Chain A
Amino acid sequence: MAELSKNDEPQDATPNVSDVEVVDAHSETEAVAAIEAPVERGEPILQVRNLVKHFPLTQGILFKKQIGAVKAVDGVSFDLYQGETLGIVGESGCGKSTVAKLLMNLERATAGEIFYKGQDITKLSGRAMKAVRRNIQMVFQDPYTSLNPRMTVGDIIGEPFDIHPEVAPKGDRRKRVQELLDVVGLNPEYINRYPHQFSGGQRQRIGIARGLALNPEIIICDEPVSALDVSVQAQVINLMERLQDEFNLSYIFIAHDLSIVRHISDRVGVMYLGKIAEIGTDEQIYDHPTHPYTQALLSAVPVPDPEAREGRERIILSGDVPSPANPPSGCRFRTRCWKAEDKCANEVPLLAIPERFKTSDTPAAHESACHFAEEKDVVHAA
């Protein structure tokens, strides 16, 4: 967004060439201080700007030559406000999980910035990075692979305290782990059990407890319930909502289940092929979608009411998602879009409030990356 350029803090992160040493040491202390400062509710806590991740495609065994790149994430920007839940939806392979990995700094971004409280975390290291890690945690998709099978539950949830010993004094840790188990609705007696002695839903609770251990401000949930039974999904979602209120958390909630995302999110971003197609509040996205992809996606949501279902128009997209190694020119969605014209192939649509809605205050006035954005009434259940 435009207002970020006024922000002078990001420039601190780029050290002067003349006295790199001094600036580095100076800015690290400053960065840690900035990271530890609290953020008011409703203020932006995480700002992502033009995030890009290209995975190189190489050829050759001994001497590797880059012959292209899979553009998994290609220019994603959004804000996360303190205390809110931002849902990110999109079909498989659209780059949702890569965004999560980039936000966690588990993958190095090819380009772009991620500002956490004004500090660009893609450039941090050492002490400042450790402080960021304490404040941004993650809940993984598959509870069967995200817990080390050779460690007891107590060791798994207690590990954050081993890595960040300043959070809990040594004698206090067992008690803290038991409290965490209690918070996520597990019996504190289970502390000496191993992950394989639990069900999927219980394992996911353990994963959430591990994420909560350091008292983070942001939790990134990468499809946290898609591996669970529907009945268990609801329990875990309710637990997460309760924890958000209790610990004042901000969530980035990645999923492909539109109903769950609507249930938990305050705002929703729709991703397609490495870009954000549309972003707005859940009402704006679900009831007043302006991007054709969002409309098609919503029309595919199963409707439990047979009468409403009969009359509705289903938008059936033809073809497959193009390869992210060779995405279409202009608008990424144009190869499957019924509105596509020459303009779509030549001009990349920007993610902005469409001109025609700018002056009005209809719910359609939200950011949408389409040249021909307009509302379309899609009957859906979510």
Chain B
Amino acid sequence: MPDVTKTDVKTDAADPVGAAPVAKAAESKPEKSRSLWGDAWADLRRSWIFIVSSVLIFFLLLITFFPGWFTSAQPVLGDLSNHYLQKPKLGEVGSPDWLGYDQQGRSVYARVIYGTRASVAVGFGTTILVTLVGSLVGMIAGYFGGIVDSILSRLTDVFFGIPFLLGTMVVLNSFPERTTWVVIGALGFFGWTQISRVMRGAVITTKQSDYVQAAKALGASTPRIMFRHILPNTMAPVIVVATISLGVYIAAEATLSFLGLGLSGVSWGNDISDGGNSIRVAQWIMLYPSIMLSITVLAFIMLGEAVRNALDPKMR
């Protein structure tokens, strides 16, 4: 479809000055205008990776916001009479017994459902924080250049040089109560460098383009050039990196929880860690949170992949 409209427009150019395009458009019906985002969206809708990943993410978000719709059991309610050797009753889909019980007699199914909220919250929260901070730093460094760029780029290098997990572990270790916000803050504190670098590179390229020069020639103010011209044209690579890193942050949160330095509440990482102790007698305690974690990370990375394919004009 897009090809048809494009060739239509191009043939106009060969006609003598002005007259023909006017006549031509008069007979063609008013068409819907399509931006690059519109083209990307049209591409996305045809991509099976995007469809599969967005269906998965839709369910994850549903579980996050309405865990009560999926289970009546409470994740923190332990009944020692349901001790962990009680095997999963795989036939009873959706019942608290479905995926068995853990060492303290808590329903594994309920914990998997309620653990989703922690993972998704940390994933989205960290990604938003990292995108904001990274974009801002990268934008300022790339746009102003010179000494500002030197200082900010070296700062980015310093943070980039700190091992990500080690850094977050050191920070989290100093918090007795690790709420969602604390974990988001710690992951974001060390995670913004990648987006900052991507943004800086994109801004430097865009800054030199003719349309930015044209805006300057019109007398446009710095905020106008930054937000009207540069930002919209640098968002594509940032969105791609952000979408892929969403999955990475979810995995990082689970890793931290596994190491005992993650969220204090219900979290897949905590359950995987606990389940590891009894893997030989009660594999299900570790198995089901791991499956959910894998599916979630996979869904977000697939989404990132699909978005990248759609936004990268060279892939078309």
Contacts and interface: CB of A to CB of B under 8 A. Distances in A.
Q: Is the interface of B mostly helix, strand, loop or mixed?
A: helix
A138 B214 contact: yes
Contacts of B280: none
Interface string A176-199: 000000001111011011101111
A149 B214 contact: no
Nearest to B8: A197
A239 to B, nearest CB: 6
Contacts of B16: 235
A207 B232 CA distance: 20
Interface stretch (B67-75, B85-93, B116-124, B217-225): B217-225
Contact of B219 (A133, A140, A141, A193): A133
Nearest to A236: B17
A256 B263 CA distance: 67
B13 A194 contact: no
A104 B216 CA distance: 9
Contact of A190 (B6, B25, B34): B25
Given A149-B36, A192-B33, A159 B5 contact: no
Contact of A194 (B30, B33, B214, B218): B33
A137 interface: yes
Contacts of A184: 18
B17 A239 contact: yes
Interface residues of A, number: 49
Interface string A338-371: 0000000000000000000000000000000000
B211 A147 contact: yes
B217 A198 contact: no
A207 B218 CA distance: 12
B195 to A, nearest CB: 20
B215 A159 contact: yes
Given A150-B232, A159-B215, A232-B13, A197 B34 contact: yes
Contact of A164 (B12, B33, B219, B224): B219
Given A199-B10, A199-B12, A160 B17 contact: no
Interface of B: 5-6, 9-10, 12-14, 16-19, 21-22, 24-26, 30, 33-36, 209-211, 213-221, 224, 228-229, 232-233
Given A145-B211, A146-B211, 13 more contacts: A129-B219, A133-B218, A138-B217, A140-B214, A146-B214, A150-B233, A151-B228, A163-B224, A185-B21, A187-B25, A189-B30, A193-B33, A199-B13
Shortest Cβ-Cβ A-B pairs, 7 listed? A185-B18, A199-B13, A146-B210, A133-B219, A150-B232, A192-B33, A187-B25
